[in-house]
Amino acid sequence: MEPRAVGGLTCEQARGATRAVLAAHGVTGTDADDALLVVTELVANARRHAGGVTGFHVSCHPPRAVIEVADASPADPVDRPTPPSVPGRFGWVMINQLTEHVNVDSGPDGKTISVVVVARTAEQAAARPGGATGDGRR
């Protein structure tokens, strides 16, 4: 999917675009589910905390995919300790747990968060069930 300005991009639209890119490369199952959770949280956070989505891009080259979400806030995401009684605030933690790499590139007009997720084809997942890196994480 090509980068574009997408100020009104919804979580549902981002999931649909991500699902299509992953499916076109034969990525399904847990890896696809994890990528969809990550893209949902990135877009929800941009909409809720950062002035909206200003750019979105997904690329897939199994066994990895890259998801990029740009927003209108130059502020870095904040990992705030939250008491269990307070709803929410788990998205950034989950993003960091479900990705292999997270990069935040901030500038005066906003930031782009780029993440790398495991995105194996069924054949790759069957050949290396311990994860694409073999670290047993999955």
Q: What angle do CA 101, 102, 103 make, to 5 degrees?
A: 125
Which residue segments constitute the domains of the chain, with CATH numbers given? 11-77+87-127 (3.30.565.10)
4-46 tens-digit pLDDT: 446 689 999 999 999 999 999 999 999 999 999 999 999 999 9
Of 97, 103, 91, 23, nearest to 66 (Cα)? Answer: 103
68/126 Cα distance (integer angstroms): 28
CA distances from 41 to 71, 86, 90, 93 (A): 13, 18, 9, 10
94-119 tens-digit pLDDT: 899 999 999 999 999 999 999 999 99
